[in-house]
Copies of this chain bind each other. A is one copy, B any other.
Amino acid sequence: MATTYWGYIKVEELLALQDGLDTDDRSLSNDEVLFITVHQIDELWFKLVLRELVMVRDCLAQEPVPEQTLALVARGLRRTALLMRNVAQHFELMETMTTRDYLAFRDKLSPASGFQSAQLREIEILLGLPDSDRIPLGAENSYMKALEDANGRPSPALRRVLARLEDRPRINEALQAWLFRTPIRGSMPDDPGDEAVVRSFVEEYLAAHEREIATNLQLTLSGAANDKDRERLKGRFENEIAGARAFLFAHDLPEAERTRHSRIRAAIVFIESYRELPLLAWPREVLDGIVALEQAFLVFRQRHARMVERVIGRRTGTGGSAGVDYLDQTALRYRVFSELWAVRTLLLRRDALPELTDTVYYEFAGGH
Q: Does A64 contact B (CB under 8 A)?
A: yes
Please tell me if the beta carbons of A344 and B312 are within 8 angstroms of each other in the complex. yes
Residues of B within 8 A of A117 (CB): 5
Copies per complex of this chain: 4
Please tell me if the beta carbons of B2 and A223 are within 8 angstroms of each other in the complex. yes
- Shortest CB-to-CB span from A147 to chain B, Å, is 8
Q: Does A168 contact B (CB under 8 A)?
A: no
- Shortest CB-to-CB span from A265 to chain B, Å, is 13
**How far is A232 from B344 in the complex, measured between Cα atoms in Å?**
41
- Shortest CB-to-CB span from A247 to chain B, Å, is 11
Q: How many residues of A contact B (CB 8 A)?
A: 156
**A315 partner, pick from B65, B99, B178, B346, beta carbons under 8 A:** B346
Please tell me if the beta carbons of B347 and A99 are within 8 angstroms of each other in the complex. yes
Q: Interface segment, A17-25, A125-133, A195-203, A252-260?
A: A17-25
Residues of B within 8 A of A166 (CB): none
With a 10 A CB-CB cut-off, give which of A6, A13, A96 has the most chain B CB atoms: A6
**How far is A182 from B4 in the complex, measured between Cα atoms in Å?**
42
Residues of B within 8 A of A291 (CB): 310
Please tell me if the beta carbons of B67 and A320 are within 8 angstroms of each other in the complex. no
**A299 partner, pick from B41, B68, B90, B303, beta carbons under 8 A:** B303
- 6 interchain pairs (CB within 8 A)? A5-B115, A11-B40, A37-B45, A98-B272, A106-B349, A220-B316
Closest CB pairs A-B (n = 7): A111-B223, A313-B344, A313-B345, A110-B219, A5-B116, A364-B364, A2-B150
